[in-house]
Amino acid sequence: MASNPRPKIKSTSLKRTTLDTRFFIDFGWWERSNLDLRTYLLSRFSLGDENSLEAEFDQVDLVDSRTGEVHQVDGFQYLIQSYFHRLPEDFITHASLVDATFCVLLANANQPMSAREIAERVGRPADVVIRTLGGTKIYQGIRPIFDE
pLDDT digits (tens, 9 = 90+) for 93-130: 888 999 999 989 988 888 999 999 999 999 999 999 99
User: What's the domain count of the chain?
Assistant: 1
122: in domain: yes
112: in domain: yes
97: in domain: yes
The residue ranking higher by pLDDT, 99 or 51, is: 99
105: in domain: yes
The residue ranking higher by pLDDT, 119 or 76, is: 119
Q: What pLDDT score was predicted for residue 87?
A: 80
83: in domain: no
55: in domain: no
Q: What pLDDT score was predicted for residue 114?
A: 95
74: in domain: no
Work out the average pLDDT over 5-33: 78
Asked if residue 55 has pLDDT above 60, the reply is no
Domain range spanning residue 27? Answer: 16-46+88-145
Q: What is the DSSP string of the chain?
A: --SSPPPP--HHHH----TT-EEEE-HHHHHHSS--HHHHHHHHS----HHHHHHH-SEEEEE-TTT--EEEEEHHHHHHHHHHHT--HHHHHHS-HHHHHHHHHHHTTT--EEHHHHHHHHTS-HHHHHHHHSSSS-BTTEEEE---
pTM of the predicted structure, to 2 decimals: 0.74
